[in-house]
C-alpha cells in the first residue's frame, strides 16, 4: 500500500461518518448517502495519487459528494418535472467550490452526525442490524471487519446492512433528532448498541480470543462522540465512564499466550490509569448533571469501586453490593441478579451469594447462560462443596462458545474435582 493509499484509508476512517451524515441531510436516504460517499472516495483514489492529499480532505470529499447529490436530485427533479420549483434551492447549495472548502464539512455537522447515530440505531431494526449498520456508517468499518469481529460471514453482515437500509427507507425513518419521550426511547437504543459492541470486545462470546480490543476501542470512540454531541444526557457520560474504566483492564485480562485472567488474579499495575482517570471524570460529569443515577452510571460507579482498590483485599464489596441492589431495582434483570450474587457473596459470604443465585436456577432466560453455573461453581468451591463445583464448571464449559473461556472453566473443574 502506497503512502497516499494509507492516507486515504486514514481519512476515510476519520471522515466517513461525517460525510455520510452530511449527505444524508441532503438526500434523506442513508443507503443513497453511503453510495454517494463511496463515489467521493473513488474520486479521491483516482485523483489524490496525482494531485496529492488536499489540505482539508474531509471538505474535499464533502464537496464532491455534495455535487453528485445535487446532480442526482436535479435528475430526479427533471424526471418528476419539478426542476423549476427546486432549481433555486439546488443552485444555492452547489456554490461549495473546492477552493473555498478549507472550513469544516458543515457548521451543523455535529447535528448531522447525531442524526446519523439515531438513524443507524433506530429500534425498527433488529439488534444485529443496528450493530452492523452503526459500525458500517458511524464506525467506518468494512463489511469484512465487522464479519471478523462477530465471527459471522461477510455475506451475513452484508445482508444485514442491505436489509437495514431497506427497512429504514420503507419505514420512512426521518433524518432528525427525536424529541421528548421519543428521544429517551431512541437514546436507550443508541446506548444499548454501543454497549453491545463494547461487551463483544471485552468478553467475546465465541472464537479463539477472549477479548477483541479493537471493538472496545470502536465503542469507546462512538461513546466519546456521542458525549460531545449530547453533553446534557447523564447516561451518555455514564456509559462512557463505564467503558473507559472497563477498557483500562484489557491488557491485564489476558496472559502471555492469550489465556484469560480473572479480575481477582489480575496485575493491577497493568491497568491503564489514564483510562481510569478519564472514566472517573466522565462519572463525575454524569453525577453533576443531577437526577437519579441511571443503569449505566450505576454500573460505572461499580467499576470505579474496583478501580479505586489497589488490591483485591481493598475492594469495597459492601458498596458494590449496595450499588447492585439499586441497579436491580432500577433495571431488574436475571443477568444483573447473577452479578449481584457475586457481590453479595464477596460482601457477606459465599452462602449468602448462593442464596441469591439459587433463586435464579429455574429462570428460563438463564438456561443457556454459561455464567450462571460458572458463578455457582465459584461460590460452591468457596464453601467447600468441591464435587458440586466441578459439575457446575463443566456445565458452564459446555455452554460457552469461546474456546479460551472453555479451557479456563475446564481447568477450574479439574482443580475442584481434585480437591473433592
Question: Counting runs of H as helices and runs of E as strands, what totals does the chain give?
Answer: 19, 2
Nine-digit cell string for 234: 447523564
pLDDT value of position 110: 58
Question: Can you name the residues that pair with 401 across neighbouring β-strands?
Answer: 206
Q: Give the integer Cα–Cα distance in Å for 63 and 285.
A: 37
Residue 317 CA: distances (Å) to CA of 245, 312, 364, 380, 399:
17, 10, 29, 19, 28
- pLDDT tens digits, one per residue of 308-335: 999 999 999 999 999 999 999 999 999 9
Question: Can you name the residues that pair with 254 across neighbouring β-strands?
Answer: 260
The answer to whether 227 and 282 are in contact (CB under 8 A) is: yes
Mean pLDDT, contiguous 10-residue spans, the chain (420 residues) = 81 85 88 90 90 89 89 70 49 42 41 87 92 88 84 91 94 86 84 92 89 91 89 96 98 94 95 97 96 95 96 95 97 94 97 96 91 97 96 96 95 92
Q: Give the integer Cα–Cα distance in Å for 207 and 212.
A: 10
Neighbours of 299 (CB within 10 A): 25
Supply the Cα-derived Rg of the chain in whole angstroms: 25
Nine-digit cell string for 363: 429462570
Burial class of residue 197, CB neighbours in 10 A (0-12, 13-18, 19+): buried
**Is this model's pTM higher than 0.75 or not?**
yes
Q: Which helix (H) or strand (E) holds 223?
A: helix 213-229
In residues, how long is the chain? 420
CA torsion sign for 223, 213, 189, 35 is positive
- pLDDT tens digits, one per residue of 238-250: 999 999 999 999 9
pLDDT value of position 98: 34
Domain boundaries, the chain: 3-107
Q: Give the integer Cα–Cα distance in Å for 297 and 238.
A: 4
Q: Give the integer Cα–Cα distance in Å for 243 and 299.
A: 10
Amino acid at each position: 500500500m502506497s503512502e497516499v493509499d494509507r492516507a486515504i484509508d486514514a481519512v476515510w476512517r476519520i471522515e466517513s461518518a461525517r460525510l455520510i451524515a452530511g449527505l444524508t441531510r441532503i438526500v434523506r436516504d442513508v443507503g443513497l448517502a453511503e453510495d454517494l460517499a463511496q463515489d467521493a472516495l473513488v474520486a479521491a483514489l483516482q485523483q489524490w495519487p496525482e494531485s496529492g492529499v488536499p489540505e482539508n480532505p474531509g471538505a474535499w470529499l464533502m464537496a464532491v459528494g455534495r455535487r453528485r447529490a445535487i446532480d442526482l436530485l436535479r435528475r430526479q427533479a427533471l424526471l418528476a418535472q419539478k426542476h423549476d420549483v427546486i432549481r433555486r434551492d439546488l443552485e444555492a447549495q452547489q456554490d461549495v467550490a473546492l477552493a473555498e472548502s478549507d472550513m469544516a464539512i458543515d457548521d451543523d455537522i455535529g447535528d448531522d452526525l447525531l442524526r446519523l447515530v439515531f438513524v443507524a440505531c433506530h429500534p425498527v431494526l433488529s439488534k444485529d442490524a443496528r450493530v452492523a449498520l452503526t459500525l458500517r456508517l458511524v464506525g467506518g468499518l468494512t463489511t469484512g471487519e465487522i464479519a471478523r469481529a462477530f465471527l459471522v460471514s461477510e455475506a451475513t453482515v452484508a445482508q444485514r446492512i442491505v436489509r437495514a437500509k431497506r427497512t429504514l427507507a420503507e419505514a420512512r425513518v426521518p433524518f432528525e433528532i427525536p424529541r421528548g419521550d421519543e428521544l429517551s426511547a431512541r437514546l436507550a437504543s443508541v446506548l444499548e448498541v454501543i454497549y453491545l459492541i463494547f461487551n463483544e470486545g471485552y468478553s467475546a462470546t465465541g472464537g479463539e480470543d477472549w477479548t477483541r480490543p479493537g471493538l472496545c476501542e470502536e465503542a469507546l470512540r462512538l461513546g466519546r462522540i456521542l458525549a460531545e454531541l449530547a453533553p446534557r444526557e447523564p447516561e451518555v457520560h455514564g456509559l462512557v465512564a463505564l467503558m473507559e474504566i472497563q477498557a483500562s483492564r484489557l491488557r491485564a485480562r489476558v496472559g502471555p499466550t492469550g489465556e484469560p485472567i480473572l479480575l481477582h488474579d489480575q496485575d493491577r499495575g497493568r491497568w491503564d490509569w489514564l483510562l481510569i482517570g478519564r472514566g472517573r471524570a466522565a462519572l463525575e460529569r454524569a453525577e453533576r448533571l443531577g437526577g437519579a443515577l441511571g443503569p449505566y452510571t450505576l454500573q460505572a460507579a461499580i467499576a470505579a469501586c474496583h478501580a479505586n482498590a489497589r488490591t483485591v483485599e481493598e475492594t469495597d464489596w459492601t458498596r458494590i453490593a449496595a450499588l447492585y441492589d439499586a441497579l436491580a431495582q432500577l433495571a431488574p434483570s436475571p443477568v444483573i441478579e447473577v452479578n449481584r450474587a457475586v457481590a453479595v457473596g464477596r460482601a457477606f459470604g459465599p452462602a449468602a451469594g448462593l442464596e441469591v443465585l439459587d433463586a435464579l436456577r429455574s429462570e428460563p432466560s438463564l438456561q443457556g447462560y454459561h455464567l450462571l453455573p460458572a458463578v455457582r461453581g465459584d461460590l460452591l468451591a468457596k464453601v467447600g462443596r468441591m464435587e458440586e463445583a466441578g459439575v457446575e464448571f463443566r456445565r458452564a464449559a459446555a455452554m460457552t462458545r469461546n474456546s479460551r473461556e472453555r479451557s479456563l472453566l475446564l481447568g477450574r473443574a479439574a482443580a475442584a474435582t481434585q480437591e473433592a
